[in-house]
Amino acid sequence: MGVKRRSFLIGAAAIAGAGVFGVSYADRSARRAAMGATVKPGEGGFAAWLKIAPDDTVTVYSPTIDFGQGSHTALAQMAADELDADWSKVRVEQAPALPGFANSALVEGFGDEMGHGMGKHLPQAVLSMLARSAPIMITGGSSAVRYTGQIAMRRTGAAARLALIEEAAHRLGVPAAELTTANSVVSHARSGRSLRYGELAVAAAQRTMAGNPALKVPKDCKLIGQSPARLDIPAKVDGSAQYGIDVIVPDMRVATLVMAPVRGGKLESVDDKPALAVPGVERVIRLDDAVVVVAKGYWPARKGVLALAPKFSDGGHGALDSAAVHAAQDKLRAGDKADNSGGSGDVDAAFADKPHTVVEADYRVPFLHHAMMEPFAMTAHYNAGKLELWVGLQDPLSVRKMAAKAAGLSEEDVTVHTTIMGGGFGRRFPEKCEIIGQAVAVAKQCPWPVKLIWSREEEFTHGSYRPQSSAHLKATLGKDKRLTAWRNDYVQSDDAEQETHFSYQIPATSRRHFKYQSNQNDGPWRSVNSTQQGFYNESFIDEMAHAAGEDPYQFRRKHLAPGSRHLAVLDEAAKRAGWGSPLPQGTGRGIALVESFNTIVAEVIEASVDPDGKPRVHKVTAVVDCGTTVNPRNAEAQVMGGIVMALSVALDEEITLDKGAVVQANFGDYPILKLADAPPVIDVHFIESGAPMGGIGEPGVPPAPPALTNALFAATGKRIRQLPIKDQFKPA
């Protein structure tokens, strides 16, 4: 979730908190409509998020989408644990894209995070109103478990359990305090009587649900903290799981397209005859910056596109290349006029104080592609003033809103069928997806449903990249070899201040953002700004340790608060990695510590450089404090996946520009880490601190690149300040 969206929520909440007539009624109405779409006769629906069938089957409706992260299983665990449900009868389904499923838990959670506890003080009806008006049904920001699970699913499960107990007490004629629940049964020990949840559900659902029920303490949890098999895996193994690219509807056509090579360019002319001559091609549709070919299948559509020779303008960006981007960033930073700033203390005074040691360094990172396994695919059918969509994107309600606007329809006339996604990592946020407007435009010009598929080449060259960024870091050491001042001047499109955390205790710190926007569509990438900021800060603090003549681990310890979670994570990582123990000749250890999404991660990497100049990672040790780990095995997989993705980025991945256009067009020139090059050992350990729950999908990413480059410095004496590493160790 981006900073702009969060800021909007906080500002909107402040206005809404003043009082809105009819908010409670609107909330109840939206939830009734949501349950009307999911709850069948004989079933009991609770707060839209779960229902119980007569046979005791519990169905959890998740507002977050599955794209491989396993969160659906964790959400079900959290709801079922509070409900005391029989796990063998728990199912998860994707919540429909309806306003009643707008995710108020995210409004509350991000409101607390960004607004100093603001979310807790707003009535549920106001939170729901804000979620609907945004609208917000996102999967992102490592928020599924820590917010949707902790706030929506656990509360709903706990409140539904209380309602079931109340109904059972009424039927059995006993005090509710004498009843217990387990495995979807309410029992009265004294009389030996019991009632199944399925018998009670319909009547219990009519009772007023507790708004803020007490949640279980860790020792009483039976599912939270365990690792049952993921509920999504069987369908993915047997092929019944449906991705956006799998969608088939009656009489469907398939389309693909070619877009202006230079982002910002426009279509000037195209002769459609070569495409129409391809068997199976039925239409050629001109868009503002693209040409779409519609056919009876993907391959004739693709052949038709390749037969075209469209002419596009360059939008005035034809002279732009990667070097020019960095040059523009350097010039902007040299102007010393920051757009935003953060930090504490008087940095300038600290720099002026003497005696001290001053160290300065420049760092750079490139545009990064999300490299999703599944390219964009969206099916749209426009008929009689109604629009029906089939797609997997990271916010179904925003898809509905944007598609309605593009089609000139009301949102009530748009139906969105949400599919699972073959990867996302931030690329599938609707506001970053041109395919929505494209698919709607094509559908309005065709009498059939049309599935628009981006080719791999278009998906690579028209991504929503992590920003190309650069930073100048400067710090000072006092007489005691402790840091006295730290400045990070960074240039990129968006401010990172609210997205990243600086963990070290330094008397004076400054972070200044200089805004630069290229012609590229850049945006969230897995762990957002923590990737570049983690690399900058954790690389530079290693440089400062070297300047102080101290061990990098011990130097970090000196600058962390005694007794803090950060220090505990760092110490545990060093201990488990055997920090200080002998290594083979030519192998070095590097360490890094980054907090992101309220989760603290330290990683230690052992690495060397092959004779041909290729870096080799031998072992990664990761220690994670996310407060409470809901599904340890899946959390471990998320951290491992983040580490492998981050190492791939550090070693080889980059998007470059030439003459305004993206150079890389497929995996052949955008290599991702192969299994043979992955670390043979990744050891992940969790600290169950009991702190407020943090995210897990992204925090494993940021420490890996600096831990690797710090390890390579320890092994070779060469400092890496620019990613990717690629050929920086190649023999001359």
Tens of pLDDT, residues 110-152:
888 876 666 777 888 889 998 999 999 999 999 999 999 999 9
Q: Looking at the structure, do residues 497 and 411 belong to the same domain, yes or no?
A: no
Q: Looking at the structure, do residues 583 and 440 belong to the same domain, yes or no?
A: no
| Number of residues assigned to the chain | 732
Site of tokens 């046979």: 55
pLDDT tens column, 182-195: 999 999 999 999 99
Nearest-angstrom CA–CA distance, 13 and 23: 13
Is residue 414 assigned to a domain? yes
Q: At residue 615, what is the residue type?
A: P
Q: Looking at the structure, do residues 362 and 380 belong to the same domain, yes or no?
A: no
Q: Looking at the structure, do residues 517 and 386 belong to the same domain, yes or no?
A: no
pLDDT tens column, 359-410: 999 999 999 999 999 999 999 999 999 999 999 999 999 999 999 999 999 9
Is residue 730 assigned to a domain? no
Is residue 722 assigned to a domain? no
Which tokens sit at 598? 């309220």
How much is the pLDDT for 115? 67
Instruction: Tell me how crowded residue 282 is: count the other CB atoms within 10 A of its CB.
Output: 17
Q: Looking at the structure, do residues 532 and 415 belong to the same domain, yes or no?
A: no
| Contact present, 720 and 728 (Cβ < 8 Å) | yes
Is residue 212 assigned to a domain? yes
Q: Looking at the structure, do residues 310 and 327 belong to the same domain, yes or no?
A: no
Is residue 424 assigned to a domain? yes
Q: Looking at the structure, do residues 252 and 293 belong to the same domain, yes or no?
A: yes
* Cross-strand bridge partners of residue 59: 51, 91
Whether a cis peptide bond, with omega within 30° of 0, leads into 135 is yes
Is residue 151 assigned to a domain? yes
Which tokens sit at 435? 């395919």
Nearest-angstrom CA–CA distance, 494 and 107: 22
| Count of domains forming the chain | 3
Which tokens sit at 704? 């890996």
Q: Give the strands of the sheet with 414-418, arranged side by side.
A: 281-286, 290-295, 253-259, 450-453, 377-383, 386-391, 414-418
| Contact present, 16 and 130 (Cβ < 8 Å) | yes
Eight-class DSSP state of 282:
E
How much is the pLDDT for 15? 46
Instruction: Tell me how crowded residue 319 is: count the other CB atoms within 10 A of its CB.
Output: 9
The alpha-helical segments, DSSP class H, found in 185-283 are 197-204, 233-238, 273-276
Q: At residue 505, what is the residue type?
A: Q
Nearest-angstrom CA–CA distance, 435 and 427: 12
Q: Looking at the structure, do residues 362 and 392 belong to the same domain, yes or no?
A: no
Instruction: Tell me how crowded residue 213 is: count the other CB atoms within 10 A of its CB.
Output: 17
How much is the pLDDT for 8? 47
The answer, as to whether pTM is greater than 0.85, is yes
Nearest 10 degrees: Cα torsion 503, 143, 69, 184: 130
The separation between the first and the last C-alpha atoms of the chain, rounded to the nearest angstrom, is 44
pLDDT tens column, 506-535: 999 999 999 999 999 999 999 999 999 999
Q: Looking at the structure, do residues 419 and 330 belong to the same domain, yes or no?
A: no
What range defines the domain where residue 193 resides?
Answer: 3-222
Average pLDDT over residues 639-661: 98
- Point out the least confidently predicted range of 6-20, 164-178, 602-616: 6-20
Q: Is pLDDT above 50 for 1?
A: no
pLDDT tens column, 54-92: 999 999 999 999 999 999 999 999 999 999 999 999 999
Q: Looking at the structure, do residues 592 and 652 belong to the same domain, yes or no?
A: yes
CATH number for position 303: 3.30.365.10
Q: Give the strands of the sheet with 90-94, arranged side by side.
A: 44-46, 50-52, 58-62, 90-94
Q: Looking at the structure, do residues 75 and 139 belong to the same domain, yes or no?
A: yes
Q: At a CB cut-off of 8 Å and minimum separation 6, what does 599 contact?
A: 142, 624, 625, 626, 627, 694, 695, 696, 699
Is residue 238 assigned to a domain? no
Is residue 459 assigned to a domain? no
How much is the pLDDT for 122? 82
